[in-house]
Amino acid sequence: MGTEVILSLYFFGNIGDGAVPDRCKGIEFDAITPDEKGVTLFFKGDHLWKGFHGSIQLANESFKELDDNHHIGHVDASFRMHNTEKTGDHDHIYLFLDDKVFRYYNENLEDGYPKEIQEDFPGVPSHLDAAVECPKGECIADSVLFFKGQDIHVYDVATKTVKTKTWSHLPVCTSALRWLEHYYCFHGHNFTRFNPVTGEVSGGYPKDARSYFMKCAGFGHGGNYSTPKCSEIKLDAITSDDPGKTYLFSGPIYMRLDTKRDGLHAFPITRTWKEVSNGVDAVFSFTNKIYMIKDDKVYIYKSAAHYTLIEGYPKTLKDELSIEGHVDSAFVCPSENMVYIIQGNTMREVDLTATPRVVTQDLPLPLSDIDAGLCGPEGIHLFKGGLYYHYESPMTLALSRIAPFPQNITSAMLGCQD
């Protein structure tokens, strides 16, 4: 009786022959890597998930050579190459099975593969547990970290040399992933974030992978967001800061658009700006600060590693910017001091270096009901539903009598579905 119960539990938590794994049941992945498009691939047995939300499929549907020589079809480790040298392997995907390495681009196996692992990676052992790229800046040189047991083999891409370290404080990683500049070791259904140079772990780890890297009922942080169609998108705001981080805001969520190499992901706004709990009307960036407008309030955050609300905020729009009424959108052009605030079919100019702040100009617009506006090196984009309008500069926008022909928002711009 007792034995039967234990056996059935065992069978449930593990994958028997022919059984289809369910990543929401808490499984251990064999390998995880982003692909050349930024979609994260999760391997388990002969199956694969594409993306944090994707459904399960057979791994050989995408990587058809995987079972030619290996009937088990089980990937030990995988990573996406980061190579700043012009060697032609940048963003190519490496999959490791036993003593072989397979290199893919766009799901096509490349000539000469599979190879013995040591032909491509001299000094790296076979039968790996995990692998992850580590670009220069995050590691000392462009490197790949190979995991086997508690040993980490740090492979230098340029010199093709290996240094081995032992990180015995870290769990044995069955897969590893670099995501949004951070490094994750996966073990069981948990993961632990580590420093790729020292192996150091700080913060409350391990955490459950189901709450962060996949969409599972009963897990996560209320990230109940599905990618809208581009024609149906409704932005609230969009902004780009000096270091080049670009954020899109829509309802309760935000997305960073400058991290396409890691895919686009929606997060609740409150995850990063916890006081802004009711969405935003307009957002702009100026001198390492992000200004968020909602109703008649302005929230100003200092941006460093984290955003922190400046003391005394939120303040009223009137006190901060000498503006009253609903704001549709706001933007600052690179290296300018003016914020352009769009309200209905009026654009108001406010000098952010003047005290007190005053509206220096009211300009009529040939458009109204703008959702969001962004000014960058390519000029101004004004977004309205699934369409956008492009202008060379604030001056051409203010001087135009008729609206330019609208263009469709594309998935390449905003990560929506075409």
Question: Which CB atom, from 312 or from 405, has the smaller least distance to ligand NAG?
Answer: 405
Question: How many Å separate Cα 105 from the centre of its chain?
Answer: 21
Q: Is the peptide bond before 394 cis (omega within 30 degrees of 0)?
A: no
Q: Quick one: which of 88, 122, 222, 334 contacts ligand NAG (CB under 6 A)?
A: 222
Q: Rounded distance, CA 86 to CA 92, Å?
A: 13
Q: Does 206 bind ligand NAG (CB under 6 A)?
A: yes
Sign of CA dihedral 137, 263, 66, 90: negative
Q: Between residues 72 and 358, which has the closer beta carbon with respect to ligand NAG? A: 72
> Of 57, 84, 224, 278, which one interacts with ligand NAG (CB under 6 A)?
224
**Side chain identity at residue 294, one-letter code:** K
If one asks whether residue 385 binds ligand NAG (CB under 6 A), the answer comes out as no
Contacts (CB under 6 A) with ligand NAG, residues 51-70: 58, 60, 64, 67
CB 415 within 8 A of CB 255: yes
Smallest distance, Å, CB 28 to ligand NAG?
8
* Closest distance of CB 153 from ligand NAG, Å: 24
Q: Does 190 bind ligand NAG (CB under 6 A)?
A: yes
HSE of 129, CA atoms in CB hemisphere, 13 A? 17
Query: Binding to ligand NAG by residue 279, rule CB under 6 A?
Result: no
**For ligand NAG, the closer CB: 38 or 188:** 188
End-to-end Cα spacing for the chain: 55
Q: Is 407 in the site for ligand NAG (CB under 6 A)?
A: yes
Is residue 265 annotated as involved in ligand binding? yes
How is residue 280 written in tokens?
């935003």
Q: Does 287 bind ligand NAG (CB under 6 A)?
A: no
For 188, left (φ over 0), alpha (ψ -120 to 50), or beta? left
Chain positions 73 to 92 lying near ligand NAG, rule: CB under 6 A, are: 73
C-alpha 124: how far from its chain's center? 30
231 sits near ligand NAG (criterion: CB under 6 A): yes
Binds ligand NAG (CB under 6 A): choice among 82, 187, 210, 294: 187
Nearer to ligand NAG by C-beta: 379 or 385?
385
Q: Is position 123 an interface residue for ligand NAG (rule: CB under 6 A)? A: no
Q: Is 30 in the site for ligand NAG (CB under 6 A)?
A: no
Q: 330: buried, middle or exposed (CB in 10 Å: 19+, 13-18, 0-12)?
A: buried
Is 221 labelled as part of a ligand binding site? yes
- SS3 at position 109: strand
30, 46, 129, 241: residue in contact with ligand NAG (rule CB under 6 A): 46
Q: In 146-169, which positions are buried (b, 16+ CB within 10 angstroms) versus exposed (e)?
A: bbbebebbbbebeeeebeeeebee
Under the rule (CB under 6 A), what is the footprint of ligand NAG?
A: 46, 58, 60, 64, 67, 73, 187-190, 206, 222, 224, 231, 407-408
Annotated binding site for heme: 221, 265
- Binding-site residues sit at 221, 265
